[in-house]
């Protein structure tokens, strides 16, 4: 336990003490075109949860259970790393990035008993490549992929309802990305030959904790920004991802395919966004089983002052599971609501910024089996967070 406390103290002190000393730019040597930046953020949260479950049998209430949790202050995705950019001449450049993140789970997803979630350190991003000022970038490694930018309702804080169905990051992947700020275009495509770990560095496991392996994956996405005038802009985006997993006992490959379109409109200090996504998962754990998920998500984001924002989200999500020879064997319907606000204690226009935020979320879920209501769940979550960026 003492070692864990020392680790927690180290990352927090590193974030808050190193950043003010101009730690963002470590090297910026113009004669050779070399630039090395130290990047990252320290993220802490305090969270409370309350859950009420009502189970039904033959249309009547069978049991009611309630549970409330008050979590200690925890890590909320703290990270640090380095970004390198090297000019190669003739508008060419080399680039690379490494980013480590802290988590409270081991490689198999088992949570350690420390509660602070600074127990394990893993490489979230580790990639390198070449780029051209006009024609885009080609990179290889563990990286955030272009389809992560398709979402138009995602928020940077904890209780965002927009994790989404598209793949956001991929290990051992090769990606081509093209960005043109003048034309408002972002587009790209990626491919991965497979991995035994997911984007969070966790081993792929099935429902019986047996190791699975990603066989291959690909995806593509595009985002177009239409600048209307100095106060207005409109964004339209779309993307698709597909993953194949090997399964035990010579079962057919499990495939996960997701489609998404998004749009956002900004007028002055107000932004509204909408995402529509669909995921289809075939041969899930056994041949012939199919799971279909649909999500509709919306957001409104209001800038109140230069340092203060308020926002709200609503999402409607469904899941349908078809067994072999039986359509709609299980269904879930979920309504989600979230309200939040954030305030920058140190403005983000400076190299080092600090913000605090508070969010509340309410979830309503109904589960059906063969058309009969089996369970209702109500969940309430409150989070207060503090983040320092450099």
Q: Is pLDDT above 70 for 110?
A: yes
Would you call 147 helix, strand, or coil by DSSP? helix
Among candidates 70, 72, 69, which has minimal Cα distance to 8?
72
Would you call 186 helix, strand, or coil by DSSP? strand
CB contact at 8 A, 345 and 329:
no
Question: 367-389: per-residue pLDDT in tens?
Answer: 999 889 999 999 999 999 999 99
Q: Is pLDDT above 60 for 22?
A: no
Mean pLDDT of 125-133: 98
| Whole-angstrom distance, CA of residue 315 vs CA of residue 365 | 12
Mean pLDDT of 266-276: 98
Sign of CA dihedral 281, 282, 283, 287: positive
Domains observed in the chain: 2-389 (2.40.160.10)
- Residue 20's pLDDT is what? 33
Q: How confident is the model at residue 113 (pLDDT cuts 50, 70, 90)?
A: low
- Residue 331's pLDDT is what? 96
Report phi then psi at 134, rounded to 5: -105, -35
- Residue 21's pLDDT is what? 34
Beta strands in 247-305 (DSSP E): 254-267, 270-282, 290-303
- Residue 12's pLDDT is what? 33
- Residue 197's pLDDT is what? 82
Higher pLDDT, 177 or 370: 177
- Long-range contacts formed by 194-200: CB under 8 A, 24+ apart: 195/171, 197/107, 197/171, 198/171, 199/124, 199/142, 199/167, 199/168, 199/169, 199/170, 199/171, 200/103, 200/122, 200/124
Cβ neighbours of residue 227 under 8 Å, at least 6 residues apart?
184, 233
- Residue 17's pLDDT is what? 30
Q: How confident is the model at residue 211 (pLDDT cuts 50, 70, 90)?
A: low
Q: Is pLDDT above 60 for 23?
A: no
| pTM of the entire predicted model | 0.88
Cβ neighbours of residue 158 under 8 Å, at least 6 residues apart?
45, 47, 76, 357, 359, 383, 385
Mean pLDDT of 285-290: 84
In percent, how much of the chain has pLDDT > 90? Answer: 76
């Amino acid at each position: 336990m003492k070692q864990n406390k020392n680790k927690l103290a180290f990352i927090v002190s590193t974030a808050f003490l190193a950043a003010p000393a101009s730690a963002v730019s470590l090297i910026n040597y113009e004669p050779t075109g070399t630039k090395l930046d130290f990047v990252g953020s320290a993220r802490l949260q305090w969270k409370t949860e309350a859950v009420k479950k009502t189970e039904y049998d033959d249309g009547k209430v069978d049991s009611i259970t309630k549970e409330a949790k008050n979590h200690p202050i925890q890590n909320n995705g703290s990270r640090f790393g380095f970004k390198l950019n090297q000019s190669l001449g003739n508008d060419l450049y080399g680039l690379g990035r490494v980013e480590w993140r802290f988590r409270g789970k081991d490689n198999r997803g088992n949570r350690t008993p420390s509660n602070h979630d600074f127990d394990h350190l893993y490489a979230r991003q580790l990639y390198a490549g070449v780029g051209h000022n006009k024609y885009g970038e080609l990179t290889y490694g563990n990286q955030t992929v272009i389809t992560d930018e398709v979402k138009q309702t995602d928020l940077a804080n904890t209780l965002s309802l927009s994790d989404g169905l598209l793949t956001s990051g991929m290990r051992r992947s090769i990606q081509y990305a093209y960005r043109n700020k003048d034309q408002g275009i972002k587009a790209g495509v990626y491919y991965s030959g497979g991995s035994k770990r997911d984007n969070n560095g966790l081993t792929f496991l099935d429902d019986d904790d047996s190791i699975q392996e990603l066989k291959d994956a690909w995806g593509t996405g595009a985002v177009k920004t239409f600048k209307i005038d100095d106060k207005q802009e409109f964004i339209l985006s779309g993307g698709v991802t597909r993953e194949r997993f090997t399964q035990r006992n010579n079962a057919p490959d499990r495939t996960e395919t997701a489609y998404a379109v998004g749009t956002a409109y900004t007028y002055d200090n107000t932004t509204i966004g909408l995402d529509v996504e669909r995921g289809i998962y075939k041969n899930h754990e056994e041949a012939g089983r199919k799971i279909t998920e649909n999500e509709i998500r919306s957001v409104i984001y209001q800038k109140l002052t230069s340092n203060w924002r308020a926002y709200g989200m609503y999402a409607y999500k469904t899941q349908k599971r078809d067994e072999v020879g039986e359509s709609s064997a299980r269904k879930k319907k979920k309504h989600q609501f979230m309200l939040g606000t954030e305030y920058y204690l140190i403005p983000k226009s400076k190299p080092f910024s600090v913000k605090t935020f508070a969010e509340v979320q309410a979830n309503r879920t109904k589960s059906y089996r063969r058309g009969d209501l089996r369970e209702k769940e109500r969940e309430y979550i409150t989070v207060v967070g503090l983040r320092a960026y450099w």
